[in-house]
Amino acid sequence: MSLVNANAPWRGRMSMHAGNKLKLGLFGANCSSGRAVTKVPERWSGAWPDNLRLARMADEAGIDFLLPIGRWKGYGGETDYQGATLETITWATALLAATRRITCFGTVHAPLFHPLIAAKQMVTADHIGEGRFGLNIVVGWNEDEFEMFGVEQRDHAARYDYAQEWIDAIKLIWSEREDFDFAGRYLELKRVRAKPKPYGDSRPIIMNAGASPTGQTFAVKNCDAFFMQASRVSVADTAERVAKVKQLARQHGREISVYTVGVITCRPTMREAEDYHRHCVVDQADWSAVDRLLAMRKITPQTVSAEEFATQRSQFAHGNSGLPIIGDPDHVARQLIDLSSAGLTGIAVSLVNYADELPFLRAEVLPRLERAGLRETR
């Protein structure tokens, strides 16, 4: 595909329009509760005014990207965890119109969006954002969301077979200047014509976060960025995981950036950070929602050992997985520096209340990353 060349718009997109060696993003702000499964009253509303306020604040602070969650049905529990969610392409489109530099992703379920409609929605967002739209392609992992659409979830391998056709079609729709037919196993498109093309003779950056070998292979073959779990054990472990993904990409003749996901609780002292973390996601966790989340992934006291169940419960309470980064600004900055040294290009983080907590991160953590040479001075 001629799109992915070393031209300037493409380099701009890949670098998310800034020279930050460690990219920082906010993950999950389009959902009520964000990612913390907590009952604390200050938990994230996910409402539009808060998203708009947050996006403008993040843009101004030099945060690189906003990554939303594609969720159609909440998880219930006392708080109806992620019960209210803003649809991600429309959310990104509006935020791109209201910001100047930040990249906004849409998280798109390939099996639920017709590729021609999705491609055009994304192009529209991309023009509005002048090349700042990104695609997070997902195949879906919650059965009851699919039920709601009357769409049957395919078996795991077939989900990615379908996604392969879907992304092939999307890339053609974005690039092909002449009318074309697309005849796949699942998709049959006739005399396709789609204008305009994405902004600046390029295309949106594409990411995926498949955890399975099939998902990873899909990512390295088709995407520019891959999101993986960082090790909770050691930086060396994380470095090894990053190296393996990059190696797999090279086997497919491609280069890929590797990102991870984290949950930050940053307070002036270690003690304050640890206390707040415990307050939110232990004492005030919405355990009924956590148990539903786990049951949907077939993690129950019947399917795993008591020890494993307890570990999974506590990990899901603080954000449905993701590396916990809890501490004072020195500690948080050090952890982020370590992740960068492991070869990660960036991290998408969630906060209990994004807009309340971002100013402190900006004032205390970002300058430490600048001094470490990982972020541009602002």
Ligand X SMILES: Cc1cc2nc3c(=O)[nH]c(=O)nc-3n(C[C@H](O)[C@H](O)[C@H](O)COP(=O)(O)O)c2cc1C
124-183 residues near ligand X, rule: CB under 6 A: 138-141
Size of the site for ligand X (CB under 6 A): 16
Q: What residues does 208 pair with on adjacent strands?
A: 226
Nearer to ligand X, 194 or 263 (CB): 263
**Minimum distance, C-beta of residue 83 to ligand X, in the bound complex (Å):** 15
Token pair of 267, please? 């307070």
Q: Is 34 in the site for ligand X (CB under 6 A)?
A: no
Which among 118, 120, 124 is positioned nearest to 136, based on CA atoms? 118
String marking each residue 254-293 x if it binds ligand X according to CB under 6 A: -------x--------------------------------
**Minimum distance, C-beta of residue 350 to ligand X, in the bound complex (Å):** 10
Among 111, 131, 210, 329, binds ligand X (CB under 6 A): 210
CA-to-CA distance for 203 and 168, rounded, in angstroms?
Answer: 13
Q: What residues does 192 pair with on adjacent strands?
A: 180
Q: Which residue is nearest to ligand X (CB)?
A: 215
> Interacting stretch for ligand X, rule CB under 6 A, among 56-64, 203-211, 290-298, 361-369?
203-211
Q: Is 70 in the site for ligand X (CB under 6 A)?
A: yes
Residue with tokens 């100047």: 100
Nearer to ligand X, 343 or 367 (CB): 343
Q: Is 294 in the site for ligand X (CB under 6 A)?
A: no
Binding site for ligand X (CB under 6 A): 69-70, 107, 138-141, 209-212, 214-215, 227, 261, 348
